[in-house]
Structures are given as structure tokens and as C-alpha cells.
Amino acid sequence: MAVGREGMGWHNWLMGLSTRVLLADDHAVVRAGIRNAIEDLPHIMIVGEVGSGPELMEGLAMLSPDLLLIDVTMPAFEPISTIRRIRGLYPKLRILVVSAYDDDVYVQGLLSVGVNGYHLKDQPLRDLRLAVERVRAGERWISSPLLDKLLQPTAQTAVSPHLSQRQKDILRQLAEGLDNRAIAQRLNLSVKTIENHLTRLYRQLDVQSRLEAAHYVQTHPELIAHQGEVYEAEKTAVFPPPPATQTAILVVDDNQRYRTQLRRMLGRVHPQAMIYEAPNTAEAVRLSGQVLPDLACVDVVLADEDGIHCTRRIKHASPASRIILISAYPDREFHRRGLDAGATALVDKKDLDAAALQQIVEDTFR
């Protein structure tokens, strides 16, 4: 005999019902990864997938989901106004944002218009499953890396000096201990140009010397966390290839925070390597053709296209490169497609710690 709500607590009754879930993300590989991660949760039924703003509104109307898992950077989708509209049309709908963006102002804006949770894509799969269960149960979910930002907004809103990409490149070399001549050689510039840039940098950072500038970078690492971005004025800039005796590693990920984290771990594991960064496929291919990286670490999900296609293009530009695909949602199909494209392995992001990177680097340069 079926047991009604009177025979169990409201919470248990709610959790006994099937929850209809709609997935909204413009990357099919991400939708597949999320589906694989959560579809075996009790009482979860995925009723549809959409990849754009118009498709989302149509899916909500036709499928009547109870829970929406959404990446709010889809095509033809304005996050704040559309979420506010969805909240008005479907007041009982639970909304969990699954995004790569960790900007606290952005997160606060979405929370203010009615999302029930915000989950970062680079967090472990077990956290995504927990986030779904919590939001489904009527609780609020915020990924732990965001909590400090949201709880201490004054510490996060300090205005950093606005630096050009060239200034960031120079500051990065200075922080590594290079003198002006070595910086000039590495960046293919004249010593006089480096001196002029440093004069302006000291003024912008309000410091008096190289030592003070290097210390400033150590305490404000976000200043140099943008390597690999392509600015219109500098698209023709050419990175000099590393010396024949020096190894090169390329990190490809459209999440600046994760790129920075991975670059730092690689720098500790292999401090002799030159590490390049790219936020998209086009820049990854450009750099691969110039520096012929020994190792490339490529996220499966990129803003412009998937990392499997990026892998194929890197192998075409630099056939000898060893490529490791990285995914927050590892899947057998991703693994098969990645190997077919030329990757050596597919690694789960949650397993990519210093020990795993050490093994990858040793296997590459043995």
C-alpha cells in the first residue's frame, strides 16, 4: 500500500518523488558529462537537454521540469533578465547554475534574481551530485571556493592596476628573477623598451624598485594570471620558441582561475619548463605552431569548441606533442574520442594533483 504524506515527514515525502530535470548548456560534451554524473541518483529523471536561450524557454514550456541545471553563458541568452523572467513564470522551479565563472559580482547577481544554487564546473563530481540533491531538497548550494568571496566582498573588490598584456608578460618575467636583458631576449624586444615599460609599471604599482615590484606580484598574483589571452592590438605578437635544451608545456583552458592553478602546479613540478597558456583553440593552435610544446594539457570543454577537436588541431600543428585531456566529467566516450584525436590520456580534474602532474611530466620527458 502506498504511503501518503501523513505517514512520512514532508521532506521524506518530497524526496520520494521523481524530480524532472532539464539540462541547459551549449556544449554537448558537458551535457553528456552531467547526465552521466547524476542520472543514477535516486528519483532523478532527466527529461531533456537544450543548448540556447530560445531552446531553453521552449523546453521549460513543453517539459515542465522541477529542476533546471544551467550554464548561463549559452547563445542568445541574457542571464539576469532571463532568470528573473523564468522565476516569474515558474516560481516552484529549482535552478542550479553550473558554470566556469567564479566572479563574485556575477554570482551575487544571479542569486539575487532567484537561482537556488551556483556550482563551479571544476569542482569534483561528488560535489555536483551533492549540489543536485541539496537544491532538489529545497536547500541553497554555493561551491566552497565562492564562499570566501561572497562572505568577504570588501576584500575582493579592491581595484587592481589595469595592465596591458605586454606589461603582464614583463612583470611575469621580472617575478621569475630575470634581468632586463634576459626579459628582452625572451620577449623579443629591445632592452630600452623593457626599461620604458618597467618605469611605467613601477608608477602604476606605486613601487620604487624591482624588488618591490616582485614582492607586489607575490602578494597580488591575479595581476599576471592572464597569460595566453589574445588582445586585438597584440594578435600578431610572436612568442619566441624555447631553447633546444628547454622544454615547453601548453595549458589550454577557458577558465582563467583553473589555468592559473594548473600553471602554478606545473611550475612547481617542472620549474625548468617554459609554460604557455591559451584560453581557446585558435590561440592553442597558434602557440603550438610556434613553440612545438612537448606537453599540452587541454580541457575537454572550451568556450569556442570542445577540447577533443582542439587536440586534433594541436596534433596537426605539432605532431610530436604529448596531449593530456582534462575533464570534470570523465566519460568512456570522451576517452575513446580523445584517443582517436591523438590524446595520450584523459584525466579527471579531481585527480589532477601535484603527484599526478609529476607522473605525467616524468612520462613525457623521460
Q: What is the pLDDT of residues 184-197, one digit of tens each?
A: 888 888 888 888 88
Q: d(Cα 38, Cα 124) in Å, to the nearest integer?
A: 13
List, in order, residues 6 or more apart from 134 with CB less than 8 Å away: 117, 140, 141
Q: What is the crossing angle of helices 256-269 and 354-365, to 10°?
A: 60
| Fold type of domain 237-365 | Rossmann fold (3.40.50)
Find, among 150, 176, 166, 236, the residue nearest to 201 by Cα: 166
Q: 54-70 burial, b if ≥16 CB within 10 A, otherwise e?
A: ebbbebbeeeebbbbbb
Range scoring the smallest mean pLDDT among 43-57, 144-158, 289-303: 144-158
Residue 243 CB burial class (10 angstroms; 0-12, 13-18, ≥19):
exposed
Which residues in the chain are classed under CATH 1.10.10.10? 161-219
pLDDT of residue 203: 81
Superfamily of structural domain 5-155:
Response regulator (3.40.50.2300)
pLDDT of residue 247: 80
CATH 3.40.50.2300 intervals, the chain: 5-155, 237-365
Condensed to tens digits (0 to 9), the pLDDT of residues 32-54 reads: 889 999 999 988 999 999 999 99
242 pLDDT exceeds 70? no
pLDDT at site 221:
63
Name the CATH topology of 161-219. Arc Repressor Mutant, subunit A (1.10.10)
Closest among 351, 240, 360 to 297, alpha carbons compared: 360
For 33-102, the DSSP string reads: HHHHHHTTSTTEEEEEEE-SHHHHHHHHHHH--SEEEE-TT-TT--HHHHHHHHHHH-TT-EEEEEES--
